[in-house]
Amino acid sequence: MVKEFNIAEIREAFPILHQEVNGKPLVYLDNGATVQKPKAVIDAISNYYETINANVHRGVHSLSQWATDAMEGAREKVRAHINAPSTKEIIFTSGTTDSINIIASSFTTFVGKEDEIIISAIEHHSNIVPWQMLCERTGATLKVIPVLDNGELDQDTYAELLSAKTKMVAFNHISNSLGTINPVKEMIAAAHEVGAAVLIDGAQALPHLKVDVQDLDADFYAFSGHKMYAPTGVGVLFGKEEWLNKLPPYRGGGEMIATVTFEKSTYASLPHKFEAGTPNVAGNIALGAAIDFMNEIGLDAIASHESELVAYATEKLMQIEGMKIYGIAKNKAGVISFNIDGVHNYDLGVILDKLGIAVRTGHHCTQPIMDRFGIAGTARASFGMYNTKEDIDKFIAGVERAKNMLL
């Protein structure tokens, strides 16, 4: 395992990086969509299926008990990683989208037609649509915090939107399109002053920042494993125990029950109340391995490295004539969204792919942001712990080559 931030050792831990794409060494800059997986995580998956494959919580035989211990051990790793008070507050889900939908659905009980839900203008669709659906079910009104030209949220308008009618405020910790790091702690405190609950979409934060849910005082915090070096199809919903006890279950089925008769069923205690069905045991265990891997390297070291990459890439990109970067907030994470005058982002992405360089193009599941800036989409480079300045140099050369071909 990597003991200090040695980029060569870190890259060696990721098998997928040592291949060619279209005859060129892979330069992977689509980490905002999903990050690559270290060997330790891949091995955790293989080890589960090779040695302890069994359903959890339900078996008296040894394999079931070993699998249960491994998965519940991963739950404790998640709890410690985000400093949650109890493992009862750690719900395993399939990802951030699933986590948000659990709360948006269950929260129906606490929302009426006179109430309001507040989200922000820089949300991923997964933190927009579930709240729209909640408002359609209940007759509540959806309010939106505007975004300023630099990609920061308009905090003055946010303060004006908050009222006694506000039942839920939901916004991201870090924007997947703009890289903006929101003032989460302050925004949560403001919402609590009017009695509102708060859900934070932390999908883009966990790979880059140390998150302490107690310090933030978040009521709910959602994130995905595949953004933080774990497998796809794995996620977490943190919820304060007092809230999770009040909310009704989102799904019914096995595991989430205490008793079942044809007349009535009663529900299991937390966290199982929200975990109906057979869980992604291998994925949850691998999430624990990913957390171990990140902590072994050190989140502060990762953040420092990625911050240096963003500054370096931004400086190089701005030297290209016709370059426009969207999202220039003072506090920003490892994402750069950009366009070049006269160049379509899709065409740019196709040419970069031919050079072995992976970036994202389009609206990044944030169409309202694109509408706000009057564009159809952007090209997006996003960084992970294993990226290097050499990757960026190849990326810049590729952008310049594509520009010369397309103009």
**Interior CA angle at 234 toward 183 and 36, to 5°?**
80
Give the whole-angstrom CA distance, residue 375 versus residue 343. 12
CA 95, CA 124: separation in Å to the nearest integer? 13
Q: DSSP state, 191?
A: H
Asked if 138 and 274 touch (Cβ cutoff 8 Å), the reply is no
Q: What tokens does 6 get?
A: 């040695």
Q: How far is 213 from 174, CA to CA, in rounded Å?
A: 15
What is the phi-psi region of residue 214: left when phi exceeds 0, alpha when psi lies from -120 to 50, beta otherwise? alpha
Q: HSE on the CB side for 160, CA within 13 Å?
A: 7
Q: Whose structure tokens read 């290209």?
A: 320
DSSP letter for 187, please: H
Structure tokens at 136: 């359609």
Neighbouring CB atoms inside 10 A of 49's CB total: 10
Query: Which tokens sit at 65?
Result: 């008990």
Contact 303, 209 (CB under 8 A): yes
Known catalytic residues?
Answer: 365
Report d(CA 339, CA 153) in Å as an integer: 22
Q: Which amino acid is at 243?
A: W
**Residue 267 dihedral angles phi and psi, to the nearest 5°:** -105, 150
Q: For residue 120, give every residue at least 6 positions away whose Cβ sits within 8 Å of its Cβ, in sequence order, or none.
A: 144, 145, 147, 153, 171, 172, 182
